[in-house]
Structure 1
Amino acid sequence: MHKLSQTGGCDIGTRPIDLHLAAFKKLGVNISEDSGFITCKCDKIIGTNIDLDFPSVGATENIILASVYADGITKISNAAMEPEIVDLAKFLNKMGAKIEGAGTNIIKITGVEKLNDVSYSIMPDRIEAGTLLCAVAITGGKVKLNKVIPEHINQILNKLEQTGCEVKIENKCVCLKAPKKIKAVDIKTMPYPGFPTDMQSVFASILTIAKGNSVIVENIFENRYKYVSELKRMGAKITVEGRIAVIKGCKKLSGATVESTDLRGGAALVVAGLVAKGTTTVNKIGYILRGYEGLDKKLNKLGAKITIKEEKE
Structure 2
Amino acid sequence: MPEEVYCIEGGKQLEGDVRLSGAKNATLPLLVAACLGEEPSILDNVPLQLNDVQLQIQLLQLMGAKIEISQIHNSVTCCRGQLSGGEAPTLVASGIRTSLLLLGLFAGLGKSVTLPSPGGCNFERKYDLHISGLRKLGASISEDSKSITLSSSGLKGTTVDFYVPTTTGTENIMIGASLAQGTTIIRNANTRPEIQQLGQLLSQMGARVRMQNRIVEVRGVKSLRGGARISVMPGWDEALTYIVGAGITQGSLRILDFDLSNIAEEARYLRQAGIELFEWQGDLYVSGKGKKESFDIFTAPYPGLDTDAQPLFTVLGLVIEGSSVITEMRHANRFQYVEQLRCFGADIGVYGNTAIVQGGKPLVGADVRATDLRGGAALVLCGLAAKGQTRISNIYEIERGYENLPEKLIALGATVIRERSDHDTNSVLQ
Query: TM-score band (shorter)?
Result: over 0.9
Q: Which residue of 2 aligns with 1:124?
A: 234
Q: Which residue of 1 aligns with 2:174?
A: 64
Q: Deviations over 1:4-24 (max 9, x none)?
A: 111221112x21111000001
For residue 220 of structure 1, the aligned residue among 330, 333, 341 is 330
CA distance in 2, matches of 1:211, 1:196: 24
The answer to whether residue 172 in structure 2 is matched with residue 50 in structure 1 is no
SS at match of 2:305: coil
Correspondence list, 1:262-301, <5 A: 262-301=372-411
The answer to whether residue 219 in structure 2 is matched with residue 110 in structure 1 is yes
Letter in 2 for 1:40: L
> 194-203 or 153-162: which moved more?
153-162
Q: Which residue of 1 aligns with 2:115?
A: 4
SS at match of 2:199: helix
Q: Please say if residues 138 and 182 of structure 1, whose CA atoms lie closer than 8 Å, have aligned partners that are also in contact.
A: no
CA distance in 1, matches of 2:218, 2:281: 32
Give the total of aligned pairs.
311
Q: Please say if residues 328 and 353 of structure 2, whose CA atoms lie closer than 8 Å, have aligned partners that are also in contact.
A: yes
SS at match of 1:280: strand
Q: Tell me, which stretches of 5 or more residues in structure 1 are unaligned?
A: none
Choose between structure 1 and 2 for higher RCO, CA contacts under 8 A separated by at least 6 residues: 2
Alignment CA distance shift 1:29-1:162 (3 Å): same
Structure 1 position 252, deviation (Å):
2.3
Q: Please say if residues 190 and 302 of structure 2, whose CA atoms lie closer than 8 Å, have aligned partners that are also in contact.
A: yes
Tell me how large the CA RMSD over aligned residues is.
Answer: 1.4
Letter in 1 for 2:184: T
The answer to whether residue 127 in structure 2 is matched with residue 17 in structure 1 is yes
Q: Which residue of 1 aligns with 2:252?
A: 142
> 211-220 or 165-174: which moved more?
165-174
Alignment CA distance shift 1:180-1:104 (3 Å): closer
SS at match of 1:63: helix
Alignment CA distance shift 1:245-1:35 (3 Å): closer
SS at match of 1:129: helix
Structure 1 position 120, deviation (Å):
1.4
CA distance in 1, matches of 2:290, 2:154: 61
Alignment CA distance shift 1:58-1:278 (3 Å): same
Q: Deviations over 1:229-270 (max 9, x none)?
A: 111110111101100111001332100101100000000000
CA distance in 1, matches of 2:132, 2:342: 41
Q: Which residue of 2 aligns with 1:156?
A: 266
Q: Which residue of 2 aligns with 1:206?
A: 316
SS at match of 1:54: coil
Letter in 2 for 1:108: E
Q: TM-score, normalised by structure 1?
A: 0.96
Letter in 2 for 1:223: N
Structure 1 position 149, deviation (Å):
3.4
Q: Deviations over 1:103-147 (max 9, x none)?
A: 521111111122322221011111111111111111000011112
Q: Which residue of 1 aligns with 2:29?
A: none
CA distance in 2, matches of 1:181, 1:310: 39
Structure 1 position 181, deviation (Å):
4.2
CA distance in 2, matches of 1:191, 1:34: 30
CA distance in 2, matches of 1:149, 1:79: 25
Q: Please say if residues 275 and 290 of structure 2, whose CA atoms lie closer than 8 Å, have aligned partners that are also in contact.
A: no
For residue 293 of structure 2, the aligned residue among 170, 183, 192 is 183
CA distance in 2, matches of 1:141, 1:198: 23
Q: Deviations over 1:201-252 (max 9, x none)?
A: 0111111110111111000112111111111110111101100111001332
Structure 1 position 53, deviation (Å):
0.8
SS at match of 1:28: coil
Letter in 1 for 2:218: I
Q: Which residue of 2 aligns with 1:239?
A: 349
